[in-house]
Structure 1
Amino acid sequence: MTSLPRNNNSSTLSEEKTETGNQLFPVFLKLNELHTVLVGAGNVGLEKLTALLNNSPAAKVTVIALKVSTEVYQLAIENTTVTIREKQFEEQDLDGADLVIAATDDSVLNNYIRQAAHERKLLINVADKPSLCDFYLGSIVQKGDLKIAISTNGKSPTVAKRLKEVLNEGLPEEIDTTLQQLSTLRDSLKGDFTEKVKKLNEVTSVLVKPQSEFKNLFRWFIWGTIVISIAIVVSILWFRDPEFKDYVQGIDPIFYYFLGAGFLFAFIDGAIGMSYGVTSTTFSLSMGIPPATASMGVHLSEIMSNGIAGWMHYRMNNINWKLFWLLLFPGIVGAVTGAYLISSLEHYAQYTKPVVSVYTLILGVVIFRKALDLKAKRTSGKIKNIRFLGLGGGFIDAVGGGGWGSIVLSSLIAGGRSPRFSLGTVKLSRFFIALTGSLTFMSLLSGTRWAAVLGLVLGAALASPIAARISNKISTKAIMMSVSIIVILISIRSIVNFVLKVF
């Protein structure tokens, strides 16, 4: 019998709980070379047996139970290394065992099994009783030969499960190919262990090596050359070509205001991942643009930026496809409905404008509260009705000219979903929602202030490629506080002006 010795001088698990931190020592066992005795063959026993076989298909397991479930029998049929003994547990059943797992719902029997295991100096796991365990069966993430075990020291299996989901989604399947190639490279190396380690370090350093200063300077040189070239061409045309000068001077000055505003708002959105719609809409209303036209400008300018962002998230496997489809179609229906409604009321813009201002005021307060609670723990329950969230988010986004990120993304993250996958999914779905909303606006509106719309679109497009790179150096909290205060003040001003005109 290959017995795993116990150190009688080591701390017991109950004593470990008085220590700070996780005192467990992680090991990986060759279960195909050990004999595991599993007592219990109900639902818990099935869960334990499944975990053993999933990680070690050739594990040698003896299952002992008075009643054996059909599922456990099926696993025994599919795995010849599993033996079932349908009987009452006895001490001698542990003779020849290396590991013991107690998976019964009888606490007295579990204690009896534990005592018998300890008399034979065997390590035991007692299901759902951390204080009685010598070892835990942790959550496992596996990608080919890569295996990661997660332990919370028995404090929260739910946290371990969530971490497992995040790692399973985040680690690509191709990482096993990387391991195989590195293994082949290692086998081809000559020399002693030290020399092999040095060579592997040299080969893999490119994976984490920061970009050289030369590459950074070269990138800035390229961008600088492009900007200077455009400035030179415009200057030459301005001073040498009267027609070009007349054309530029004939452009509605509002175009330049919205060009700068779109550029600025795209920087803000790049820093905090939200508020582009609400800031753009608030600015548009303050400049006298009707709500429907303001919303159309926001949607048009977001088609390209969200399309690029969604494509990048798709390439990086940051999309939760089930969540994507649940959001997409309800979101499109909501966006089209909202765009149709606000466009139909374009002639009553003097009345719809204060309503939209109230909406932007609420979003401004929401952003302000988020700025104050950036480090607060999430306590919201997980969102169940994703379709309703998409429908409401699409409708409000179209009516108010923004809010998809503030409402949908914030709700998903607050509900405990992965921020990275939620962001990628929301960005990709936003592209289609912005596209369908824009088409609806364009088919229904006439006499649109195109100078303002084009300025906003162009400004956002110019800022999008470099927004995140520069804006992430600024304090997120400071930006959010500033944006929220500006939005709140402008919205209040718009509401007050409407009230004064009416009364």
Structure 2
Amino acid sequence: MDLFKDKTDLLNKEVDNGNELFPIFLKLQNFQTLLVGGGNVGLEKLSAMLVNSPQAKITIVADRFLDEVKTLVNQYPAVNIIERRFEDKDLDGAELVILATDNKELHHYIRTLAKAKGILVNVADTPDLCDFYLGSIVKKGNLKIAISTNGKSPTVAKRIKEVLNEGIPEEINDTLDQINKLRETLTGDFANKIKVLNQATASLVNEKQKEPAISAKALSWLIWSTVLVFTAVIFYVIWQQEPAFREYVETINPTFYWFLAAGFIFAMIDGAIGMSYGVTSTTFSLSMGIPPASASMAVHISEILSNGIAGWMHFKMGNVNKKLFKLLVIPGIIGAVTGAYILSSLEHYSHYTKPLISLYTLILGIVILRKAIIINKKKVKATKKITNIKPLGFFGGFIDAVGGGGWGSIVLSSLIAGGRNARYSLGTVKLSRFFIALMSSLTFVTMLNGLQWYAVAGLVIGSAIASPIAAKVSNRISAKTIMVSVGIIVIAVSIRSIIKFLMAF
């Protein structure tokens, strides 16, 4: 059999002594682990164990503890804290020992005692004293990959972990579940089972290689044909409703150039920090006297083409989680159409709705400013994935249509904060955004009598011009600086609109 032949060939090869570690996966809940140290290193070791083995039985001994350690321990009943200096009796009953203090003499002393008792020891940042290492770990559902550099470079191990986390799709866990169900149905001898499983996994790989090409082609056709049809509809509506448009060659509304410049600048900002196009465009439109519904319509129309292209590219590169996309797009469309319908119905009361939208953009401006302030601070990753996807999609679509933006700020931020993979979340949100913008724009176009064509055309053309160069320029500008500037400008303009409304009474 090929399987055993491969193993025999491997054993017969000349042994490479570069890394002689033998990898194993322990059920930590079946061991009593002693962790000595309650500082930053101790917190890192404790977090690594509990993320992978939440039921691990761990006793931590230290004369002082970080508050973060105590907070973490409170979430795990199988973990105990002893707040005092290490004593020899602490090794009684221990089966694994992890040393994470800044006292090297204490490490040598404890290791000597532990070895005399036959206990395995890991010593932080001291490979020569370690019986085992705590390597970087990639976890995707039931799939777990441990990475070791033989203690040479934990930093390299972490970088490899990042690459694998990005490269392995979230759907791999579904594949494992399906293969497990198939395995449970197999009968016959071991060789036959291996043969069937090899055929099944080869089929899955082939399907995975073929499916994106076909699906991407179909999706590409759908997006581009939709864009063309939608452009034709918009052109027809503008032609029928705006006499000035028919005289466009001779006379152009001067305001068009303001929106042209605004669309270019806001698209550049969006390319640099990955957000804020909607809120900045809406804030600018309101400041230019555009009613809320018309402002939101202009923003969404200008986003259709850019999000369609971005979404298609993400899909083609495999950055879209299909299951997540299905959960987001339908509720998102319903929420967006509902929000667009309500806002369009209140267009005659724009003098009342405008300050409310300004209040919304004020809040988003504060959110952007806050993100800029904490952008370099260490973030705490969520341990559980967000599951309420459909309500999130509806709420994000509704608020996005009413406020002229916020789909990315609300949905993408919530998905990433809720433990979702950033790369797949971004690709999925971008693709779903195309359909959200499309349906909300169609609702606005059919509901509103007058179309602010100069605002629409300016934003569309300006953002289109900026798209090819936004990425290059963004690498030379500090994202934090841009976010601070955008946050301050949005807050200032929003406050100005609110004050102007209040002074009218």
Superposition TM-score, scaled by structure 1 size? 0.56
Question: Alpha-carbon deviation of 1:490?
Answer: 1.0
For 1:299, the equivalent position in structure 2 comes to 300
For 2:19, the equivalent position in structure 1 comes to 27
Q: Structure 1: which amino acid aligns with 2:418? A: G
Mark the CA change 1:490 to 1:151 in structure 2 (over 3 Å): closer, same or farther: same
Match of 1:149 among 121, 136, 147: 147
Match of 2:467 among 456, 461, 464: 464
Mark the CA change 1:316 to 1:288 in structure 2 (over 3 Å): closer, same or farther: same
Map 1:31-110 to 2 at 5 A: 108=93
For 1:337, the equivalent position in structure 2 comes to 338
For 1:170, the equivalent position in structure 2 comes to 167
Question: Alpha-carbon deviation of 1:322?
Answer: 3.0
Distance in 1, Cα, partners of 2:429 & 2:465? 22
Distance in 1, Cα, partners of 2:150 & 2:393? 35
Map 1:78-227 to 2 at 5 A: 108=93, 134-136=131-133, 149=147, 167-170=164-167
Map 1:315-326 to 2 at 5 A: 315-326=316-327
Is structure 2 residue 348 aligned with structure 1 residue 347? yes
Unaligned runs of 5+ in 2: 1-16, 32-91, 97-111, 123-128, 140-144, 170-246
Residue 123 of structure 1 contacts residue 134 of structure 1 at CA under 8 Å; is this kept in 2?
no
Question: Alpha-carbon deviation of 1:110?
Answer: 5.1
Distance in 1, Cα, partners of 2:30 & 2:469? 53
Mark the CA change 1:162 to 1:392 in structure 2 (over 3 Å): closer, same or farther: farther
Residue 139 of structure 1 contacts residue 151 of structure 1 at CA under 8 Å; is this kept in 2?
no
Question: Alpha-carbon deviation of 1:498?
Answer: 0.9
SS at match of 1:318: coil
Distance in 1, Cα, partners of 2:337 & 2:389? 18
Which moved further from structure 2: 313-322 or 421-430? 313-322
For 2:365, the equivalent position in structure 1 comes to 364
For 2:75, the equivalent position in structure 1 comes to none
Mark the CA change 1:412 to 1:109 in structure 2 (over 3 Å): closer, same or farther: closer
Map 1:468-479 to 2 at 5 A: 468-479=471-482
State the aligned residue count: 328
Q: Which runs of 4+ in 1 moved over 4 A?
A: 28-31, 40-45, 107-111, 117-120, 122-126, 136-142, 150-153, 160-166
Mark the CA change 1:337 to 1:166 in structure 2 (over 3 Å): closer, same or farther: farther
Question: Alpha-carbon deviation of 1:412?
Answer: 2.5
Is structure 2 residue 420 aligned with structure 1 residue 417? yes
Query: Equivalent pairs: percent with the same residue?
Result: 64
Q: C-alpha offsets along residues 353-400 of structure 1, whole Å, 9 cap, x if unaligned?
A: 110000001111111111111112224745342222222111111100
Bigger-Rg structure (1/2): 1
Question: Alpha-carbon deviation of 1:299?
Answer: 0.9
Which moved further from structure 2: 286-295 or 442-451? 442-451
For 2:458, the equivalent position in structure 1 comes to 455
Alignment root-mean-square deviation, CA: 4.3
For 2:438, the equivalent position in structure 1 comes to 435
Which moved further from structure 2: 374-383 or 490-499? 374-383
Q: C-alpha offsets along residues 396-422 of structure 1, whole Å, 9 cap, x if unaligned?
A: 111000011112222223334333222
Match of 1:403 among 403, 406, 409: 406
Distance in 2, Cα, partners of 1:150 & 1:323? 32
For 1:486, the equivalent position in structure 2 comes to 489
Residue 267 of structure 1 contacts residue 467 of structure 1 at CA under 8 Å; is this kept in 2?
yes
Q: C-alpha offsets along residues 14-52 of structure 1, whole Å, 9 cap, x if unaligned?
A: xxxxxxxxxxx9836689xxxx9x9x999869xxxxxxx
Q: C-alpha offsets along residues 320-359 of structure 1, whole Å, 9 cap, x if unaligned?
A: 3333222222211211111111111111111111100000
Distance in 1, Cα, partners of 2:27 & 2:376? 45
SS at match of 1:474: coil
Residue 300 of structure 1 contacts residue 435 of structure 1 at CA under 8 Å; is this kept in 2?
yes
SS at match of 1:436: helix
Mark the CA change 1:152 to 1:281 in structure 2 (over 3 Å): closer, same or farther: farther
SS at match of 2:377: coil
For 1:78, the equivalent position in structure 2 comes to none
Q: C-alpha offsets along residues 158-192 of structure 1, whole Å, 9 cap, x if unaligned?
A: xx9998696154158xxxxxxxxxxxxxxxxxxxx
Mark the CA change 1:476 to 1:136 in structure 2 (over 3 Å): closer, same or farther: closer
Q: Structure 2: which amino acid aligns with 1:328? A: V
Unaligned runs of 5+ in 1: 1-24, 46-106, 127-131, 173-245
Residue 303 of structure 1 contacts residue 431 of structure 1 at CA under 8 Å; is this kept in 2?
yes
Superposition TM-score, scaled by structure 2 size? 0.56
Q: Structure 2: which amino acid aligns with 1:436? A: M
For 1:258, the equivalent position in structure 2 comes to 259
